Amino acid sequence: MTDYRIASIPGDGIGVDVQIEARKVLDAAAKRFGFGLEWTEFDWSCERYTKTGTMMPEDGIEQLRAFDSILLGAVGFPGVPDHVSLWGLLIPVRRAFQQYVNLRPVRLLPGTTSALAGRSAEELEMIIVRENSEGEYSTLGGRHNEGQPGEFVLQESVFTRVGVERIIRYAFEVARTRSGRVTSATKSNGIIHTMPFWDEVFGEVAAQYPDVRAEQTHIDALAARMVQQPDRLDVVVGSNLFGDILSDLAAAVTGGLGMAPSGNINPESEHPSMFEAVHGSAPDIAGQGIANPVAQVLAATMMLEQLGEKEAAAAVNAAVEKVLGEGVVLTPDLGGTATTAQLGSAIAEAV
């Protein structure tokens, strides 16, 4: 029997609620398919920060290194500034383990409705390939002339050739396994250094994939297209910030934030990858037991796939589709009255 060592970081807010359900479902899958999941739980969170002054211990990254994978709930809660909590946990993990691909597949599942009227499941299936290690997310810059009339801040973006090339190449490889279409999010009309460079590298990589249809669209127009003609999109590749924004939009047009999973992938598998929902800790509904656990469960199936447990992943996906399709046990965001735990248990039983 293969045993997998998984680091579980529930984090904050609804991260904690949905993590319990994802573990429930994964444990059911492990039992049915005959592999072992050895969970180690870490209390790294804003609560920990409030007590100790740090989100994770100094050797936190070292502690995670030995695991086969990481399942993360969500990080961030009122009381701790977001840039402190996120740069104290989520972003360092993504970077230390070179998880430079943030893969965010979305599709309209049975029993759920798109925010867009009259759209069917066939039209609503996309995958956002988000650059996850550099770009607009940078510590370079600073605040100047503080408190004076001429006060200003500078925020620098870093786009390396290696970083841009590898994410775009990854998107083309994903496209070969899907529709054979890649759309690049750009803003080379307005952002004068980074985006023309992004386009240049996109063009170079596209030339190496003559079998894949490549197009680039300005991020503003792309946002409109995602709402008005989502059927014309499949693989969408974007920088760290553009990919972040587009992934919530893509989630919204395919059934909501409660449905969208995410994998922070280290494609070379030299370090653990980390799986989480696209959504955050949702302080507005935290502690109420009404968060939709499906996004986290689907993130956990992405983890199973990466671990090589394809059959188990397929069974969990089928269980999610079955329960949602029956339309009985649904959380409030899906129009039902079920609790997080009821939906999680229904999926675990269906597995």
Interacting residue with ligand NAD among 135, 230, 280, 344 (CB under 6 A): 280
Q: Contacts with ligand IPM: how many residues (CB under 6 A)?
A: 6
- Planar angle of CA 322, 326, 331, nearest 5 degrees: 95
Pick from ligand NAD, Mn ion, ligand IPM, none: which does 261 bind, CB < 5 to 8 A by kind?
A: none
> Cβ of 328: how many Cβ atoms within 10 Å?
12
According to the binding rule CB under 6 A, does residue 250 interact with ligand NAD? Answer: no
Q: Which of residues 265-284 bind ligand IPM (CB under 6 A)?
A: 278, 280
Q: How far is the CB of 220 from ligand NAD (least distance, A)?
A: 21
Q: How far is the CB of 132 from ligand NAD (least distance, A)?
A: 11
Q: What are phi and psi of 132, to 5 degrees?
A: -130, 15
- The one-letter amino acid at 153: V
According to the binding rule CB under 6 A, does residue 261 interact with ligand NAD? Answer: no
C-beta of 277 vs 350, nearer to ligand IPM? 277
| Residue with smallest beta-carbon separation from ligand IPM | 86
Nearest to 238 by CA among 222, 225, 227: 222
According to the binding rule CB under 6 A, does residue 134 interact with ligand IPM? Answer: no
Q: Which of residues 87-106 bind ligand IPM (CB under 6 A)?
A: 90
Q: Which of residues 211-270 bind ligand IPM (CB under 6 A)?
A: 244
What's the rounded Cα separation, in Å, for the pair 85 and 75?
Answer: 7
According to the binding rule CB under 5 A, does residue 12 interact with Mn ion? Answer: no
Structure tokens at 307: 């671990």
Q: Which of residues 17-56 bind ligand NAD (CB under 6 A)?
A: 18
Q: How far is the CB of 281 from ligand IPM (least distance, A)?
A: 9
Q: How far is the CB of 318 from ligand NAD (least distance, A)?
A: 21
Q: What are phi and psi of 143, to 5 degrees?
A: -105, 135
> Cβ of 225: how many Cβ atoms within 10 Å?
16
**Secondary structure (3-state) at 289:** coil
Query: What would the 3-class secondary structure string for 162-212 be?
Result: HHHHHHHHHHHHHHHCCCCEEEEEECCCCCCCHHHHHHHHHHHHHHCCCCC
C-beta of 28 vs 90, nearer to ligand NAD? 90
Nearest to 55 by CA among 14, 87, 82, 89: 89
Q: How far is the CB of 73 from ligand NAD (least distance, A)?
A: 7
- Planar angle of CA 25, 30, 34, nearest 5 degrees: 155
Q: How far is the CB of 327 from ligand NAD (least distance, A)?
A: 17
Q: How far is the CB of 221 from ligand NAD (least distance, A)?
A: 24
The piece of 63-71, 72-80, 240-248, 325-333 that touches Mn ion (CB under 5 A) is: 240-248
Q: How far is the CB of 161 from ligand IPM (least distance, A)?
A: 22
Q: Which of residues 244-303 bind Mn ion (CB under 5 A)?
A: 244
Residue 229 CA: distances (Å) to CA of 119, 232, 233, 306? 10, 6, 8, 31
Specify the DSSP class assigned to residue 279. S
Pick from ligand NAD, Mn ion, ligand IPM, none: which does 291 bind, CB < 5 to 8 A by kind?
A: ligand NAD
**Secondary structure (3-state) at 27:** helix
How many residues can be counted in the chain?
351
Which residues contribute to the site for ligand IPM (CB under 6 A)? 76, 86, 90, 244, 278, 280
Which residues contribute to the site for ligand NAD (CB under 6 A)? 14, 18, 74-76, 82, 86, 90, 257-258, 276, 279-285, 291-292, 295, 333
Which residues contribute to the site for Mn ion (CB under 5 A)? 244
